[in-house]
């Protein structure tokens, strides 16, 4: 996953640099290139590629919680009625 993201980020950075340094290019064009070809697709691809890791983390969390803990947390351990002295 990291290799794909790193490679694409390098390509986009070079595209933005070429746009900024070109006589017909502009800094605004380089910024748009960086955002539309870099940040937006990388965020989507990174989210998709990280899905298996998120599933594993969720399964480990659920497995740890299933080890005798109450599902609602400490609030469910309180008595249902108040005992008068």
Any idea where the domains of the chain sit in the sequence? 1-53
Give CA 28 to chain center in angstroms: 27
Whether the predicted model's global pTM rises above the 0.85 cut: no
> Angle at CA 21, nearest 5°, toward 20 and 22?
95
Token pair belonging to 76: 């469910």
**pLDDT surpassing 70 at residue 78:** no
User: Tell me, what DSSP letter sits at residue 73?
Assistant: -
Rounded to an integer, the average pLDDT of 68-77 is: 57
Read off the pLDDT of residues 17-54 as tens digits, 9 standing for 90 and up: 999 999 999 999 999 999 999 999 999 988 998 899 99
pLDDT-derived band at 66 (thresholds 50, 70, 90) equals confident
For residue 71, the model assigns a pLDDT of 56
pLDDT value at position 28?
95
């Amino acid at each position: 996953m990291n290799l794909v993201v790193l490679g694409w980020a390098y390509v986009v950075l070079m595209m933005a640099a070429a746009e900024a340094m070109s006589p017909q290019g502009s800094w605004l064009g380089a910024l748009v290139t960086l955002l539309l070809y870099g940040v937006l697709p990388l965020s989507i691809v990174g989210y998709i590629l990280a899905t298996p890791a998120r599933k594993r983390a969720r399964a480990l969390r659920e497995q740890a919680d299933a080890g005798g803990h109450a599902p609602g947390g400490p609030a469910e351990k309180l008595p249902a009625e108040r005992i008068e002295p």
